[in-house]
Structure 1
Amino acid sequence: MGILSKLFGGSSSSTSRKQPSATVEDLCHRFSLQQLRKSTDGFDESRLIAETDLSKEYRASISVNGELKHVTVQRLRQEPAISSYGLISCKNNIIFRCQLHHPNLASLVGFCDDHNELIVVYDYPLKGSLHDQLYRTDRNSPTLSWKRRLEISIGVARGLHHLHSGTKRTIIHLDVTPDSILLDENWVPKLKFSGISVKGPKFSEKEVRPIELRSVEGTYGYVAPEHMMNAEVTHKCDVYSFGALLLELICGKHPFHIWRLHQFPNIKELSNLAGTGNVEGIIDEILVGEIAPQCWESYMEITEFCLSQNPNKRPDMGEVKVQLEHVLQLQEEADTNRA
């Protein structure tokens, strides 16, 4: 029995249990290490698409139930993989990806648990990540238009809304960044899990109590201030991260760089300054002239509320989704009138 199978409990020889624990094989497809070695040309560096302290990700094609699929093979490094943190991260990856089915959440294709190797396999994003598209180096590649950025933000908001209210227990993602947003061939965004996501209280609970973590999790610049200060999280931490993402989509810069370059004390001042027409160097130069004034005003208002220092003043993602859909409608109407 592999490491991951032991972690999930596996099947039991005891017949006294009326409800035995589900094995990991019940959740998703199991690949052999030999299959994944072959599909990645022996984990060749030429197929490497991402690398972190915990894992390496490879591009591959593999047959699943007779169908050839383009996939990402995420191979956990062996040392952290056998640590308690690595095991928990991998388990969370599988549980969240297998049990959550939504058009804007990256689903799991399968896993491998052979010879002390822990590997998860998920759909390969043909358009790469949102980070790839925002900061592309190939000038001949098509740019992300303002309307497409709005559509992507709406898709991500829908995915987060499902995590926060579409299941019995709230799921807090904790890593809403351009790197975590994958884009399929139709530019549909799919939020992937990094293993640091946590389950929160039941959605029906009226009082939201913060969950205390052992350490601060997430990417600097997107982490909510209350989480940064005391390592406590609620679903409103994701709302803050999403606000930082909205800021990045319109400015074309990492949130930290926006504040450092322009030295704005708060989001309100940034919104007001750009609203006067002084947008040079603030918003992404590609978007200059594309954004309708009313659309800008509404978009920045949503961003401001999401980035509220007080988590209780941040809206829920369902409300954010509806407001962004309205922003897109405003932009489409402005485009029609302009044409």
Structure 2
Amino acid sequence: MRTATNNFDEVFVVGVGGFGNVYKGHIDNGSTTVAIKRLKQGSWQGIREFKNEIEMLSQLRHPNIVSLIGYCYESNEMILVYEFMDCGNLRDHLYNTDNPSLSWKHRLQTCIGVARGLDYLHTGVKQVIIHRDVKSANILLDEKWEAKVSDFGLARIGGPMGISMMTTSVNTEVKGSIGYLDPEYYKRNILTEKSEVYSFGVMLLEVLSGRHPLLHWEEKQRMSLANWAKHCYEKGTLSEIVDSELKGQIKPQCLNKFSEVALSCLLEDGTQRPSMKDIVGVLEFVLQFQDSAVNYEDSSSHSTVPLSDCSENTGSSTTSDGDRSNGRMESFVLIPDDVFSETKNPKGR
């Protein structure tokens, strides 16, 4: 690891956090680029999260889950080695950054990738895995802009896949990131897949608005992104929350459908929230609708920058955004009836 990073030279630091530093390194005689996370020494919590991440990622294989290549645990060093994600994390392409803004279509594709990864954790393994820290900073983007869920240090294992929500709930100390936490989770200390659905819903609004979920300096009504979005939806002024960089890119019907699925994730009763599988279906429908609208209305002028170039903006332009003119968030009138199968027939907790 020292050789791969030139003795952990700060020149190779690509990320810094409470856990320690992440370095860009090269292994296999320089032929393979990797991300090397070096955890701070002497932290008991760090040791638990280090072991937890190894245990979780060693059993997961999915295109939208980051791959763990190896680890080192000796001489008081705790090091994790991952595939290198050339385009960094999603948050750094949404706000407080000099990176080019992501196009609406690109943001949709990213959300679909994340949803597929979370659906795999909830239904594609022997036991349900709950990530517990879904947020834009933990979504990494590879050289092809494929989204991958990362940072499994807080993840927990629930019950066997396919068992009812009551069985898969976990009594646990509340962990996660402020602004993304499910109110049911931090009030009751009971963790389920639907706690994760709430966090994902906040992330959807984050992608749509291009702002952090919690801004303490904002006026009270806009401080919480989730509350502000609900307020605007009910007033029929949803376009107020849309990222200014996206103006002119989102078809009105797509904005309505996207916001409906996002707000359905935030329903107070967790049993009424959709499953990640249902969410994947809705988001794919939104993308198809956006594509068909673009192809029909703007085929002569629409262009994009290749997604393989992480340094370029994948901008596109269609027609202007639109507000929701009527209806409250409980209605979901614009989403096909078969999409929210679990919302209509909620499982018991």
TM-score by length of 1: 0.81
1:268 Cα offset (Å): 3.4
Q: Any stretches of 5+ residues in structure 1 without a counterpart?
A: 1-35
Aligned partners of 1:239 and 1:316 also within 8 Å: yes
1:45 alignment counterpart = 10
Aligned to 2:320: none
SS in 2 for 1:60: strand
Superposition pairs of residues 263-302 of structure 1, within 5 angstroms? 263=221, 265=227, 267-273=229-235, 275-276=236-237, 279-280=239-240, 282-302=241-261
Q: Work out the CA distance in 2 between the residues paired with 1:123 and 1:131.
A: 19
| 2:87 is aligned with 1:127 | yes
Alignment CA distance shift 1:258-1:238 (3 Å): farther
- Mapped to 1, the partners of 2:296 and 2:111 lie a distance apart of 24
Aligned position for 1:233: 191
2-structure distance, mates of 1:324, 1:279? 19
| Partner amino acid, structure 1, of 2:131 | H
Instruction: Please say if 1:163 is aligned against 2:126.
Output: no
**RCO (CA 8 Å, sep 6+): is it higher in 1 or 2?**
2
Counterpart in 2 of 1:142?
A: 100
Rg larger in 1 or in 2?
A: 1
Match of 1:73 in 2: 36
Task: Return the match for 2:170 from 203, 208, 211.
Answer: 211
Q: How many residues align?
A: 293
- Report the alpha carbon displacement of residue 88 of structure 1 after superposing the two structures with TM: 2.3
CA separation in 2, counterparts of 1:112 and 1:288?
Answer: 47
Show the counterpart of 2:153.
Answer: 195
| Structure 1 SS opposite 2:53 | helix
**What percentage of residue pairs aligned between the two structures are identical?**
39
Shift of 1:90: 1.2
Distance in 1 separating the partners of 2:288 and 2:165: 34
Higher helix share: 1
- The equivalent residue for 2:27 is 62
Residue 94 of structure 1 is matched in structure 2 by 54
In angstroms, what is the RMSD of aligned CA positions? 2.0
Which residue of structure 2 aligns with residue 18 of structure 1?
A: none
Does structure 1 conserve the Cα–Cα contact (< 8 Å) formed by 2:56 and 2:152?
no
Structure 1 stretches of 4+ moved >4 Å: 258-262
Of 275, 295, 310 in structure 2, the residue corresponding to residue 336 of structure 1 is 295
User: Is this contact kept in 1: 2:165–2:192, CA < 8 A?
Assistant: no
Question: CA 1:88–1:163 in structure 2 vs 1: closer, same or farther (change >3 Å)?
Answer: same
Task: Give the TM-score taking structure 2 as reference length.
Answer: 0.79
Can you list the C-alpha shifts for 1:236-256, whole angstroms capped at 9, x where unaligned? 111000000000000000112
Which residue of structure 2 lines up, in the alignment, with residue 7 of structure 1?
none
* Counterpart contact for 1:57–1:73, Cα < 8 Å: yes
Following TM superposition, by how much is the alpha carbon of 1:54 offset from its aligned partner in structure 2, in angstroms? Answer: 2.5
Moved more, 305-314 or 47-56: 47-56
Could you give the per-residue CA deviations for residues 249-300 of structure 1, whole angstroms, max 9, x where no partner exists? 0000011239945716564332244x55x735x2110101111011011001
Mapped to 2, the partners of 1:79 and 1:154 lie a distance apart of 38
Distance 1:311 1:260 in 2: 28
In 2, distance between residues paired with 1:67 and 1:95? 27
- 1:109-146 deviations in Å (ceiling 9; x for gaps): 111122121111001110111011112633xx432000
Instruction: Name the SS of the counterpart of 1:315 in structure 2.
Output: coil
Superposed counterparts of 1:248-259, under 5 Å = 248-257=206-215
